[in-house]
């Protein structure tokens, strides 16, 4: 009976070691992803040209999701160290706290990604904001500033008006040369609202993918931590029974 107990105890110890070091490795990966997410979101927020475009178009609501992801990436970098320490120490209280932070992190990441996508994708809340701003510039395109903004956007993105070249006709404005392809001379068919949205999607796609990968790691780490807690409790119970 004693030999059987010893073999069982040794097997449980090996299982705990396997889970513990796997969790440690996952936390290292989570820290690396959190650091990359922080760097990308800060770069997106600080990029001068991109920031200027959003300011001019009065679409800075785009940054709400970015701020959420910057904050959660900082938290997750710190939490990854807590996960490493709690796993190596096999401290059940620290592991429960870590599980709680992983649940919070997952919810915050999903929320931040959802908000970011809500202001950077087709048929999102970003498009009405862009439509109002661009139609306002088209309606006042005879003024120097409005003409400058439209020229900058239309030439760089390859678009015309808010919804298309007919915006100029509807608002009784002449079609500018920036609305035409320099090679063919034909007017750009796509409006700047859709083109700008696709441009923003390209900027945020990698960030959202990275954030959701981190969210998946949060779930895996939470499950593994819970398994480790149960294994440590079982080991303590076996040790208690053995002393009796």
Which residues touch 103 (CB under 8 Å, ≥6 apart)? Answer: 218, 222
User: 11-52, pLDDT tens digit by residue?
Assistant: 878 888 888 899 999 999 999 999 999 999 999 998 877 888
User: 206-227, pLDDT tens digit by residue?
Assistant: 899 999 999 999 999 999 999 8
The encoded tokens of residue 118 equal: 């809500």
Contact 111, 211 (CB under 8 A): no
Tokens 């009784």 found at: 172
Contact 103, 222 (CB under 8 A): yes
The model carries a pTM of 0.82
Contact 113, 205 (CB under 8 A): no
CATH class of 20-83+93-243: mainly alpha
Quick one: pLDDT at residue 1?
40
| Residue spans per domain, the chain | 20-83+93-243
Quick one: pLDDT at residue 156?
87
Choose among 58, 64, 72, 32: nearest CA to 45. Answer: 64
For the chain, which ranges sit under pLDDT 70?
A: 1-9, 238-244
Residue 124 phi, psi dihedral angles, 5° rounding = -100, 180
């Amino acid at each position: 009976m004693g030999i059987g107990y010893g073999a069982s105890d040794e097997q449980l110890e090996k299982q705990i070691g396997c889970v513990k070091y796997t969790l440690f490795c996952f936390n290292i990966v989570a820290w690396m992803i959190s650091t990359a997410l922080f760097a990308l979101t800060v770069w997106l927020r600080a990029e001068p040209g991109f920031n200027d475009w959003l300011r001019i178009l009065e679409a800075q609501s785009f940054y709400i999701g970015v701020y959420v992801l910057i904050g959660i990436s900082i938290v997750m970098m710190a939490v990854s160290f807590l996960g490493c320490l709690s796993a190596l120490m096999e401290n059940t209280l620290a592991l429960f706290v870590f599980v709680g932070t992983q649940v919070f992190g997952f919810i915050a990441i999903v929320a931040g990604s959802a908000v970011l996508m809500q202001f950077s994708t087709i048929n999102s809340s970003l498009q009405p904001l862009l439509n109002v701003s661009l139609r306002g510039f088209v309606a006042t395109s005879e003024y120097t500033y409005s003409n400058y903004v439209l020229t900058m956007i239309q030439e760089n993105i390859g678009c015309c008006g808010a919804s298309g070249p007919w915006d100029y006709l509807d608002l009784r404005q002449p079609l500018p040369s920036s609305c035409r392809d320099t090679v063919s001379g034909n007017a750009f068919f796509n409006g700047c609202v859709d083109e700008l949205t696709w441009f923003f999607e390209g900027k945020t796609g990698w960030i959202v993918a990275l954030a959701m990968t981190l969210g998946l790691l949060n779930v895996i780490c939470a499950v593994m931590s819970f398994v480790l807690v149960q294994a440590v409790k079982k080991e303590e119970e076996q040790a208690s029974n053995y002393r009796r």
